[in-house]
Amino acid sequence: MRITDEAKQLLQNVFDTKGVEGIRLTTTAGCCGPQIALTIDAPQEFDRVQTINGIKVAFDPAVTGTEELTLDREENQNGVGLVLIGGSNCC
């Protein structure tokens, strides 16, 4: 997984505001099978934790296939947010 500098800056602003220090990747049910979901959350007991571009990232044990993922900042008519690029988007 890769985190762009733009996403890092946005995350650090959120962390400072909310008093948290990391993100967590989990899986949710999707139309094509499990989909990766991102939350601002503390690691759980069996998570694998890595620091990527200065950001603490916890991976739920069920999460696989993150090698090609990029977390980036996205700005559109709805505002500014984060987007995971490279995951399955078959729907």
The CATH number of the domain holding residue 49 is 2.60.300.12
Half-sphere exposure of 72 (CA within 13 A, CB side): 8
Tokens of 14: 């959120």
Asked if the structure places residue 7 within a domain, the reply is yes
Return the residue matching tokens 């008519």. 77
Instruction: Report the predicted TM-score, pTM, of the whole model to 2 decimal places.
Output: 0.87
Asked if the structure places residue 90 within a domain, the reply is no
φ, ψ for residue 80, nearest 5 deg: -110, 140
Asked if the structure places residue 80 within a domain, the reply is yes
Asked if the structure places residue 13 within a domain, the reply is yes
Asked if the structure places residue 67 within a domain, the reply is yes
Q: Is the pLDDT of residue 87 over 70?
A: no
Question: Residue 89 class from Cβ within 10 Å (0-12 exposed, 13-18 middle, 19+ buried)?
Answer: exposed
* Number of domains comprising the chain: 1
For residue 38, what are the domain limits?
A: 2-85
Q: For the residues 34-58, what does the mean pLDDT come to?
A: 94
- Would you place residue 30 in the very low, low, confident or very high pLDDT band (cuts 50, 70, 90)? confident
Q: For the residues 31-40, what does the mean pLDDT come to?
A: 83
Tokens of 36: 């990766």
Q: Is the pLDDT of residue 90 over 70?
A: no
Asked if the structure places residue 91 within a domain, the reply is no
pLDDT for residue 50: 97
